[in-house]
């Protein structure tokens, strides 16, 4: 199953009031594993960059002024997204900005049915806890020490690790059935491989008490001096 983890950076909180998308980062997962395929782009927002937004992601208008417009890279982005489910943290926010840019370019909006929100997932898994990306990375032991400022591709990478952990962890891909490619790694290990070549084979030992064991136990119990359990009889 192919899925896309993505994150965006913007000039503010609301595309309806003129805020624009300035960065997008996407990570491809297949069967909950990162494939190494990514899409990353910066965009010229054609407007100023509020100081509050720049303090979050560090993207100045000087840096973005020579970057392409969103419309110039739509085809590349849509080709990468394909028809895969789209996972984001606080996904309504990210979908809102991407769809606003698509509308501005005269393109169809992303279908909201494709949306998977990891904030909503976290609320169900950990009610009452903090659900920020930082807090969840701490909860799941995901290293975020290199995250000094927000960045779309960096945050998408962290979210990919988080999503994998929230949906069962790395072990979800470990099955005993053979893979479609017939991988030998998916087959159960042989008894020799499992115990190692340097260990001698020993037959399984029986664990049921023999008649002689039961007789010795009965004789031992009969010889006890005033056992406590007789007080309840």
Is 94 labelled a binding residue? no
Of 146, 150, 161, 197, the catalytic one is: 150
In the DSSP assignment, the letter for residue 180 is T
Annotation-wise, does 57 bind a ligand?
yes
Residue 22: partners with Cβ closer than 8 Å, 6 or more residues away:
9, 10, 11, 42, 43, 45, 49, 57, 59, 64
150 is catalytic: yes
Half-sphere exposure of 228 (CA within 13 A, CB side): 0
Q: Is 9 annotated as a binding residue?
A: yes
**Is there a binding annotation on residue 14?**
no
For 90-115, b where at least 16 C-beta lie within 10 A, e where not — what string?
bbebbbbbbbbbbeeeeeeebeeebb
Q: Centre a 10 Å sphere on the Cβ of residue 54 and count the other Cβ atoms it contains.
A: 17
Rounded Cα gap, residues 55 and 142, in angstroms:
24
CA distances from residue 39 to 1, 177, 196 in whole angstroms, order as listed: 18, 33, 44
**∠ CA 100-106-110, rounded to 5°:** 50
Helix (H, G, I), strand (E, B) or coil at 88: strand
Distance, in Å, from the CA atom of 220 to the CA atom of 233, rounded to the nearest integer, reads: 19
What are the residue numbers of the active site?
A: 150
Annotated binding-site residue numbers for substrate: 7, 9, 57, 155
């Amino acid at each position: 199953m192919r899925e896309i983890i993505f994150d965006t950076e913007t000039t503010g909180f609301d595309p309806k009031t003129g805020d624009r998308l300035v960065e997008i980062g996407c990570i491809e997962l297949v069967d909950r594993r990162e494939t190494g395929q990514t899409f990353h782009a910066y965009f010229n927002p054609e407007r100023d960059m509020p100081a509050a937004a720049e303090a979050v992601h560090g993207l100045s208008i000087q840096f973005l002024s020579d970057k392409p417009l969103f419309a110039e890279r739509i085809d590349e982005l849509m080709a990468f997204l394909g028809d895969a489910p789209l996972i984001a943290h606080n996904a309504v926010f990210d979908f809102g900005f991407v769809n606003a840019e698509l509308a501005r370019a005269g393109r169809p909006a992303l279908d909201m049915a494709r949306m998977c929100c990891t904030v909503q997932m976290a609320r169900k898994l950990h009610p009452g806890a903090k659900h920020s990306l930082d807090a969840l990375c701490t909860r799941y032991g995901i290293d975020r020490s290199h995250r000094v400022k927000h960045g779309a591709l960096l945050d998408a990478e962290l979210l990919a690790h988080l999503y994998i952990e929230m949906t069962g962890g790395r072990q979800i891909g470990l099955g005993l059935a053979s893979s479609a490619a017939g991988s030998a790694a998916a087959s159960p290990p042989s008894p020799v491989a499992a115990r190692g070549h340097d260990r001698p084979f020993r037959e399984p030992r029986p664990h049921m008490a023999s008649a002689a064991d039961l007789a010795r136990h009965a004789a031992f119990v009969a010889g006890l001096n005033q056992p406590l359990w007789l007080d309840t009889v």
